[in-house]
Chains A and B, each alone.
Chain A
Amino acid sequence: MSSAKMSSSSAGPTRSKLSLKGSSKLVAEFFEYSIHSILFQRGIYPPEDFQVVKKYGLNMLVSVDEDVKTYIRRIMSQLNKWVVGSKISKLVVAIVSLDSAEVVERWQFDIEVFSKASGSKKSSSSSADKENAAPKASKQTSDDAHGDKTIDEIQQEIQAIIRQITASVTFLPVLEGRHTFNVLVYADGDTQAPSEWIDSDPKEIQNAEQVKLRSFSTASHKVDTMVAYRLGTAE
């Protein structure tokens, strides 16, 4: 542990750490690329609509279709605010069959905000729920483990997740028919949401198979990734 700290500080002490704001930006950016990756990998839109961009040291595929781009941009503009304000605890990309309107796949990103960084925000935002918030404080002890990561290390963690999303097509069932997607967030109870965002059920999948993917963490956030999917009809 101490040796790791040494190396990171010698590598470049000025840029190695992320503030809460920078961390939020990183998390939001990760979400955006993940959504694009999922849309591509799961064939929600035709592959021709996607273009390769270099990101996280990978060839990321990003939709260039104007409608899709605008749609995701609208989501991201609000998501950014929520992530920066530590308002949301989960982001869910639900893949819904157009024919049956059933949720067939559910990508879930759990966001954990380390209370050290956001203590003031938390206490003001969820005053009614202090009891529930209390257990989170216990995780403060683990903060030190994440505190000293360099941007490069975080990037590598993100890279690993994206690779896993890409690799997930090997075990996820082939999506038959046409599908669309919904984006859900789990927000604090007092969150102000623009009219575009409405209350929803969690769009859980009954009897889902769940696969937990890797996670990444910054000084102020930890993001867990999980995919749940319905098993094929072969029963």
Chain B
Amino acid sequence: MSFSTPVKTRRSAHCTPRQSRLDSSPLTPRNYAALSSSYFGGSRRNSPKTSIHKQIPSPLKLDNYLPDTTLVGTGPSSCANTPKRIAKKQIFRASVQGDRFIPSRSSSSTTMTKLEDDNSSSSSNGSTRSSVSSSATNSYEYQSSVAEACGFALNQRILTFKPEAPQSKKPIDLRSQYNRPLKPAVNAQLRRRLPTNAERILDAPGIRDDYYLNLLDWSCNNQVAIGLDRDLYVWNAESGSVSSLLRTTPDTYISGLKWSGDGAYVAVGLSDGDVQIWDVEEGEKVRSMTGHAARVGVMSWDRHVLSSGCRDGSIWNHDVRIAQHKVSEFVNHEAEVCGLQWRSDGSQLASGGNDNLVNIWDARSSTPKFTKTNHKAAVKALAWCPWQLNLLATGGGTFDKQIHFWNGTTGARVNSIDAGSQVTSLQWSTTYKEIVSSHGYPDNNLSIWSYPTLVKNGEIQGHDTRILGSALSPDGSTLATVASDENLKFWKVFEQIGKKVSSAVMGGSLASGGKDIAKVMMIR
């Protein structure tokens, strides 16, 4: 035992009779013996049961005897807890004639009385107390001087904060740190940079400010189709040329449009319930599929199947190859269907409606596999995750402002974001593990979220009024947004760092070239 733990011993002083302390002290190395006696004496000097230490005639004298005791300084720690044990020990020591027992040498007579006291009654050691009280002040001075010499003050506690400090999670090499700049340059490169200005702005005059319509889409051939009231324009992102594809009759307007998977055709939903398919290269209508009772605000392609959502809540699946185009009907919504999205493998269809429902349909069944009622407003924004096929993101309207994430296989809600604004569209990035949401009231902004951490990586205040819809470029780098301020803006939100993709989308050289690719579908 070194004397490095005086406090611990002192604490035990409260539970042991005084004499035991003195008796046990010879077991400890010599300087500790002197120290501890003085130390404990000091702390106890006001208590009525004071001062066994006074039985030591003088510490100096005690030192004189110490050469004997150094022989035996190796005994086990002997802070006895019970009087009985002490008594036994003392008897034992007495029998070996106390070669390790200093007090018995310095003043054997008092020790003997003490011993008797212990044997007769363990608690009566106060009897010797009165006999010694002469050198109290001397010993106190002595104590303080010893304490000072040993580097700790009387009447002081050294406390440590007991809980373990958390372990560092990574190994640390300090050497790499010494020459490190305060802000590592690597971070600056890795940090996502978001554009504050649009890459390009086009006019979209006359666009209908209607949340329930879907008037913007970007094809795999790098063509952007936009419906401006009665007109449908196609803007070629490579050449920058604009062409008017169609103009509807005055009694109707374009309520929805969607590029087919091969980018050769565009499906157009009209406010009178017609669904038309147009060949963009030829600039002519391929076929018209009638039957819906009300306007068709949203459509989604799965290869040759075009699903259309109607204001009356019905979803029709058209096989565009055959004359009897309507192959099945999904009926569960009770209000206008405004969101519709096939999973990329075509096995599931997600639909959202003005009845605040999200339905997930199995392609082979006409009853919804899951019906989700979590949203408290219309659900227009739907997006299936490109890197995790069964993950669906849905966004709610003004009274909801939530983005929910669903497992399409189990139907479980796996995550949620409070977006703070009406969610008008959602697009997953194909470059980053991110999703971008476009918003209406009140913020009218674009927000970019990491998934699955749901950390907001940034937001873009791009439009003055609410963003009606968005579309992602085929290379995944650029987002097109159209807002009720009649602007169509392009944002490089998912530009890949280190790759020169800047020229690929706008006025550049995207590999496809569009015209060379044969049309994949036969449409009658």
**A residues engaging B (CB < 8 A)?**
42-49, 52, 59, 61, 65, 67-68, 71, 74-75, 78, 89, 98, 126, 128-129, 131-132, 169, 174-175, 178, 180-191, 193, 195-204
CB contacts (< 8 Å) of A204 on chain B: these are 4, 151
In the assembly, what is the distance between CA of A128 and CA of B154, in Å?
10
CB contacts (< 8 Å) of A184 on chain B: these are 158-161
Contact among B8, B154, B166, B169 for A199, CB-based, below 8 A: B8
Q: Is B453 an interface residue (CB 8 A)?
A: no
Contact among B155, B156, B172 for A43, CB-based, below 8 A: B172
Q: Do B177 and A47 touch across chains, with their CB atoms under 8 A apart?
A: yes
Q: Do B177 and A43 touch across chains, with their CB atoms under 8 A apart?
A: yes
Tell me the dominant secondary structure on chain B's binding face. loop
Q: Do B182 and A52 touch across chains, with their CB atoms under 8 A apart?
A: yes
In the assembly, what is the distance between CA of A129 and CA of B153, in Å?
10
Q: Is B180 an interface residue (CB 8 A)?
A: yes
Could you mark each residue 1-43 of chain B with 1 if its beta carbon is under 8 Å from any beta carbon of chain A, else 0? 0001101100100000000000000000000000000000001
Q: Is B164 an interface residue (CB 8 A)?
A: yes
In the assembled complex, how far is the CB of residue B294 from the closest CB belonging to chain A, in whole angstroms? 54
Other A-B contacts than A71-B166, A187-B159, 11 sampled, CB-CB below 8 A, are: A43-B172, A46-B168, A132-B155, A169-B174, A180-B164, A182-B165, A183-B161, A184-B159, A188-B157, A201-B7, A202-B158
Q: Do B155 and A126 touch across chains, with their CB atoms under 8 A apart?
A: yes
Supply 28 A–B pairs (Cβ within 8 Å), ascending by A: A43-B172, A43-B173, A46-B168, A46-B171, A47-B177, A59-B182, A67-B166, A71-B163, A74-B161, A74-B163, A89-B156, A132-B154, A132-B155, A178-B167, A182-B161, A183-B160, A184-B161, A186-B156, A187-B156, A188-B155, A189-B43, A191-B157, A196-B162, A199-B7, A199-B157, A199-B158, A200-B158, A200-B160
In the assembly, what is the distance between CA of A48 and CA of B4, in Å?
37
Q: Do B177 and A65 touch across chains, with their CB atoms under 8 A apart?
A: no
In the assembly, what is the distance between CA of A78 and CA of B160, in Å?
12
Query: Could you tell me how many residues of chain B have their Cβ less than 8 Å away from some Cβ of chain A?
Result: 38
In the assembly, what is the distance between CA of A184 and CA of B182, in Å?
30
Q: Do A189 and B161 touch across chains, with their CB atoms under 8 A apart?
A: no
CB contacts (< 8 Å) of B157 on chain A: these are 186-189, 191, 193, 199
Given A46-B168, A46-B170, A182-B160; A201-B154 close (CB under 8 Å):
no
**B residues engaging A (CB < 8 A)?**
4-5, 7-8, 11, 43, 46, 144, 151-175, 177-178, 180, 182-183
CB contacts (< 8 Å) of B163 on chain A: these are 71, 74, 196
Given A132-B154, A174-B174; A185-B168 close (CB under 8 Å):
no
CB contacts (< 8 Å) of B174 on chain A: these are 42-43, 169, 174-175
Q: Do B175 and A199 touch across chains, with their CB atoms under 8 A apart?
A: no
Residue among A65, A74, A174, A199 with most chain B CB within 10 A:
A199
Residue among B152, B154, B159, B177 with most chain A CB within 10 A:
B159
Q: Do B155 and A128 touch across chains, with their CB atoms under 8 A apart?
A: yes
**Which residue on B lies nearest to A193, using beta carbons?**
B159
Q: Do B162 and A189 touch across chains, with their CB atoms under 8 A apart?
A: no
In the assembly, what is the distance between CA of A196 and CA of B167, in Å?
18
Q: Do A188 and B170 touch across chains, with their CB atoms under 8 A apart?
A: no
In the assembled complex, how far is the CB of residue A108 from the closest CB belonging to chain B, in whole angstroms? 12
In the assembled complex, how far is the CB of residue A181 from the closest CB belonging to chain B, in whole angstroms? 5
**Which residue on A lies nearest to B180, using beta carbons?**
A47
The 4 closest A-B CB pairs, nearest first, are A189-B155, A67-B166, A200-B160, A43-B174
In the assembled complex, how far is the CB of residue B405 from the closest CB belonging to chain A, in whole angstroms? 24
CB contacts (< 8 Å) of B162 on chain A: these are 195-198
In the assembly, what is the distance between CA of A169 and CA of B153, in Å?
32
Q: Do B168 and A45 touch across chains, with their CB atoms under 8 A apart?
A: yes
Given A46-B169, A46-B170, A132-B144; A199-B159 close (CB under 8 Å):
yes
Q: Do A75 and B154 touch across chains, with their CB atoms under 8 A apart?
A: no
**Which residue on B lies nearest to A61, using beta carbons?**
B182
CB contacts (< 8 Å) of A181 on chain B: these are 165
CB contacts (< 8 Å) of A42 on chain B: these are 174
CB contacts (< 8 Å) of A198 on chain B: these are 159-160, 162
Q: Do A129 and B154 touch across chains, with their CB atoms under 8 A apart?
A: yes
In the assembly, what is the distance between CA of A232 and CA of B32, in Å?
30
**Which residue on B lies nearest to A133, using beta carbons?**
B155
Q: Do A52 and B156 touch across chains, with their CB atoms under 8 A apart?
A: no
In the assembled complex, how far is the CB of residue B519 from the closest CB belonging to chain A, in whole angstroms? 53
Contact among A47, A61, A180, A189 for B167, CB-based, below 8 A: A180
In the assembly, what is the distance between CA of A211 and CA of B170, in Å?
30
In the assembly, what is the distance between CA of A42 and CA of B169, in Å?
16
Given A43-B172, A68-B166; A202-B159 close (CB under 8 Å):
no
Q: Do B5 and A201 touch across chains, with their CB atoms under 8 A apart?
A: yes
Q: Do A185 and B172 touch across chains, with their CB atoms under 8 A apart?
A: no
In the assembled complex, how far is the CB of residue A32 from the closest CB belonging to chain B, in whole angstroms? 13
In the assembled complex, how far is the CB of residue B97 from the closest CB belonging to chain A, in whole angstroms? 35
In the assembled complex, how far is the CB of residue B173 from the closest CB belonging to chain A, in whole angstroms? 8
Contact among B152, B153, B164, B178 for A132, CB-based, below 8 A: B153
In the assembled complex, how far is the CB of residue B162 from the closest CB belonging to chain A, in whole angstroms? 5
Given A71-B163, A74-B163, A174-B174; A201-B168 close (CB under 8 Å):
no
**Which residue on A lies nearest to B7, using beta carbons?**
A199
